[in-house]
């Protein structure tokens, strides 16, 4: 159904990693390990360790944190800053290859909801700490060839000084959209992401994943397993979908009205 009147809900802002797709465990983690191996380093991030490292947003920041906190005997080379950049560039290339292989599908309900929002004329944006190339590759490989154009704003990576949980990336996107937070809804999967969106005053719907199940999601409109599909209901962990069993545009409007 197309909404003719100007909706009070004007735009949707999506996090990427963990929200659009489960990219972390079988995507970014594998790519980091491949980059370490490619550069002759015996560093390896297993699933559990990567879960700990996820508390640090941003890949370059995550590598630095790992070296400072997990490798007491490692003596960084003089050009350590360059090494981090080189490793991260290599990781980005490995990650793109994983996406090209088509192994990272979007999460349940994501494609359906994006289509519905587009059809209704809602504005779409991305707000993520990940590298811009990762976003465009995911959209192209896992959503649609032209999916980059579905989003009016792609706010990603190092364009702001402070990554999530700082609100900077959301503030940047809102400024570019020329909207106030109250006109929008954000979608997040992690505590750091939620802290960022709430600090930007955005009503936020959380879809959890295996890495974020235990996070503190106080302040979210609702916390659910995923967006769900007709016939594949979402599990509701906190809040309410106002009688709905999966998230449609009407659900979002109800959530937004109650925020």
Footprint (CB under 6 A) of ligand XBP, residues 151-190: 164, 190
Q: Pick from 11, 28, 87, 209 the residue near ligand XBP by CB under 6 A.
A: 28
Q: Residue ranges of the alpha helices (H) in the chain?
A: 29-38, 47-53, 59-70, 80-100, 110-119, 132-138, 168-177, 191-199, 249-258
Residues 6+ apart with CB under 8 A from 121: 2, 3
Q: Examine residue 18 and tell whether it contacts Mg ion (CB under 5 A).
A: yes
C-alpha distances out from residue 55 to 28, 98, 209, 212, 259, Å: 14, 23, 14, 10, 27
Q: Examine residue 128 and tell whether it contacts ligand XBP (CB under 6 A).
A: yes
29 binds, among ligand XBP, Mg ion, none (CB under 5 to 8 A by kind): none
Q: Examine residue 209 and tell whether it contacts ligand XBP (CB under 6 A).
A: no
The count of chain residues that interact with Mg ion, using the rule CB under 5 A, is 6
Q: How many CB atoms lie within 10 A of CB 179?
A: 16
**DSSP class per residue in 68-118:** HHH-TT----TTHHHHHHHHHHHHHHHHHHHHHTT--PBPTTHHHHHHHHH
Q: Examine residue 251 and tell whether it contacts ligand XBP (CB under 6 A).
A: no
250 is a catalytic site residue = no
- Range in contact with ligand XBP (rule: CB under 6 A) among 51-59, 107-115, 177-185, 200-208: 51-59
Q: How many angstroms separate the CA atoms of 56 and 64, rounded?
A: 10
H/E stretch holding 223: strand 222-224
Q: Pick from 11, 12, 17, 168 the residue near ligand XBP by CB under 6 A.
A: 17
Q: Which is nearer to Mg ion, 226 or 254 (CB)?
A: 226
CB of 147 to ligand XBP, least distance (A): 18
15 is a catalytic site residue = yes
Q: Pick from 131, 136, 142, 248 the residue near ligand XBP by CB under 6 A.
A: 131
Q: How many angstroms separate the CA atoms of 144 and 147, rounded?
A: 5
Q: How many angstroms separate the CA atoms of 10 and 51, rounded?
A: 34
Q: Pick from 27, 58, 167, 193 the residue near Mg ion by CB under 5 A.
A: 193
Q: Examine residue 157 and tell whether it contacts Mg ion (CB under 5 A).
A: no
Which residues are catalytically annotated?
Answer: 15, 17
Residues that bind Mg ion (CB under 5 A): 15, 17-18, 189-190, 193
Residues that bind ligand XBP (CB under 6 A): 15-18, 24, 28, 57-59, 128-131, 134, 164, 190, 192-193
């Amino acid at each position: 159904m197309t909404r003719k009147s100007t909706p009070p809900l004007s735009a949707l802002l999506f996090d990427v990693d963990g929200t659009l797709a489960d990219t972390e465990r079988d995507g970014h983690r594998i790519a980091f390990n491949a980059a370490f191996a490619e550069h002759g380093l015996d560093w390896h991030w297993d699933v559990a360790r990567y879960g700990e490292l996820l508390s640090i947003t941003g890949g370059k920041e995550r590598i630095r944190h790992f070296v400072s906190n997990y490798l007491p005997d490692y003596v960084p080379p003089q050009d350590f800053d360059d090494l981090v950049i080189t490793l991260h560039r290599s990781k980005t290339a490995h990650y793109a290859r994983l996406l090209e292989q088509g192994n990272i599908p979007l999460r349940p309900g994501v494609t359906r909801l994006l289509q519905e929002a587009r059809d209704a004329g809602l504005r779409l944006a991305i707000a993520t700490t990940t590298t811009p190339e990762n976003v465009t590759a995911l959209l192209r490989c896992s959503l649609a060839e032209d999916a980059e154009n579905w989003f009016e704003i792609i706010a990603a990576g190092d364009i702001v000084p402070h990554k999530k949980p700082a609100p900077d990336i959301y503030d940047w996107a809102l400024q570019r959209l020329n909207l106030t937070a109250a006109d929008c809804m954000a979608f997040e999967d992690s505590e750091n992401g939620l802290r960022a969106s709430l600090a930007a005053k955005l009503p936020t719907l959380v879809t959890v994943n295996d890495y974020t199940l235990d996070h503190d999601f106080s302040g979210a409109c609702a916390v659910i397993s995923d967006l769900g599909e007709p016939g594949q209901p979402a599990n509701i962990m906190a809040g309410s979908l106002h009688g709905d069993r999966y998230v449609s545009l009407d659900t979002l409007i109800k959530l937004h009205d109650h925020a």
